[in-house]
Amino acid sequence: MERERYDDLTLILPTLNEVDTAPLIIKSAIRRFPGISITVVDDGSRDGTVDAVKKVSRHNGSIAIIRRDRKGLPKGLTASIIDGIAASRTRYVAVMDADMQHPIGKLYDVERWLSDGYQLVVCSRSSVRGWPLDRKIISKLLSSLGYLVLIVRGKKRCADIFSGYFGIDKKAVYGIIAKNRGRFVDNGYKFLFDLLKCIDSGGEVKIRDVPYEFGNRKFGASKAGAVQVVALLRAFLT
Ligand SMILES: Nc1nc2c(ncn2[C@@H]2O[C@H](COP(=O)(O)OP(=O)(O)OP(=O)(O)O)[C@@H](O)[C@H]2O)c(=O)[nH]1
Ligand SMILES: [Mg+2]
């Protein structure tokens, strides 16, 4: 069920060259989630992403842009997500890729389960369309390894431990991030996995899965590559 207002929710969009899609997501979020705050965390996009975001943000005080490159910070998706969460002022914070691979409609479920008392709501890829076989195999192998790491260490799991689309109750989760900041791999792509590593299976944090179908990128270019695989292997060890 949709609510009238979403004043309690911030949407974080990490961007690296997403000029085609970031403005569309922002427009759609404003239209569908009245009162929502949006924070774009950009790492020095060279395709005009920041200008395009500024254009759609004009006259809207609830849209913020964090320009990490301006602060001289090294690029990093996980570091960008943490900066976005730290800067947010609402109780609930959701994170979504800015390339339109994540269906924005699932944000209704994320907000609903968070306000129903779950502290972490994960949109889990129930199926993935269009990936080549080698990417499917590598992904399967890495996620099996990831599950093993969490099981062995007695940590909480969810249906998709590498999802990039999730929501948190900041009040309950930010303390965990701050306390374990050194265990988050700044240039990695798997913030959620780093977070799960810090949540004991017997602990208070309640997790809810929201399944969805993950599609291929239709716009822009992927930034995922070998560097992120190495970062993930590091995440298994930290
Ligand atoms: N701020 C910031 N954002 C990043 C960085 N790397 C990627 N992103 C953004 O993070 C999101 C996920 O990156 P993608 O390249 O789509 O990674 P992916 O979804 O695993 O790969 P594809 O399925 O090929 O799209 C996108 O919104 C990117 O623009 C980074 O270093 N810094
Ligand atoms: Mg993507």
Cα separation, 153 vs 147, in Å, equals 10
Residues with a CB atom less than 6 Å from ligand 1 = 14-16, 18, 41-43, 75-77, 80, 97-99, 101, 164, 189, 217, 222-224
| Statement: residue 217 has pLDDT above 80 | no
- 22-59: per-residue pLDDT in tens? 999 999 999 999 999 999 999 999 999 999 999 999 88
| Statement: residue 220 has pLDDT above 90 | no
Residue 133: domain span: 9-237
| In-domain check, residue 1 | no
Going from the Cα of 204 to the center of ligand 1, the distance in angstroms, rounded, reads 30
| Statement: residue 104 has pLDDT above 90 | yes
pTM: 0.94
pLDDT value of position 100:
94
- 114-171: per-residue pLDDT in tens? 999 999 999 998 877 778 888 888 888 999 999 999 999 999 999 999 999 999 999 9
| In-domain check, residue 3 | no
| In-domain check, residue 4 | no
CATH number for position 161: 3.90.550.10
Mean pLDDT, the chain, integer: 94
Ligand nearest to the CA of 224: 1
| In-domain check, residue 193 | yes
Cα separation, 165 vs 163, in Å, equals 5
| In-domain check, residue 2 | no
Structural domains in the chain (count): 1
| Averaged pLDDT, 11-23 | 97
| In-domain check, residue 205 | yes
Q: Which of 99, 102, 212, 213 to mutate to test the pocket of ligand 1 (most atoms within 8 A of CB)?
A: 99
| In-domain check, residue 152 | yes
Closest CA to 75 of 162, 180, 185: 185
Please identify, by atom number, the ligand 1 atom nearest to the C-alpha of residue 13: 27
DSSP assignments along 36-50, one per residue:
-EEEEEES--SSSHH
| Statement: residue 238 has pLDDT above 90 | no
* Alpha helices per DSSP H over 101-132: 106-115
| Averaged pLDDT, 175-186 | 97
| In-domain check, residue 84 | yes
